[in-house]
Amino acid sequence: MNIGEMQRKLSLWAGQDKGRKFYGLFDLISEMDWLRLAHDYVAQNAGSKTAGCDGVQMAEFDENLEDNLQRLHLNASPQSRKRALPLPCERP
């Protein structure tokens, strides 16, 4: 999947039709390619220097990168979402 092209299309569609509803976005962004790209973006910005709302820092996450990305992918699967909705992070 060409992530850049999909992002461009989604942006174009959203701009053309302000009332448009997008279905399946959560499934799309929880794909491994999207998770890897998101990881790479965070690794390049200030987010890589601070812990997330779960208290995990980027260096710690990267120690077991593929397993952590796979865990995120599996936790975002439709089957796991039916079991329980994720709770929002509470920021101090």
Check if the beta carbon of residue 33 is closer than 8 Å to that of residue 1.
yes
Would the pTM of this model clear 0.85, i.e. be above it?
no
pLDDT by 10s per residue, the chain, length 92: 688 888 899 999 999 998 888 888 888 888 899 999 989 988 998 878 888 888 899 999 999 999 999 999 988 876 666 655 566 666 65
Helix 3-16 and helix 32-44, axial crossing angle in degrees, nearest 10:
90
Reduced to 3 states, what is the DSSP secondary structure of residue 74? helix
CA distance 60 to 82: 29
From 22, 27, 25, select the one nearest 82 (Cα to Cα): 27
Reduced to 3 states, what is the DSSP secondary structure of residue 53? coil
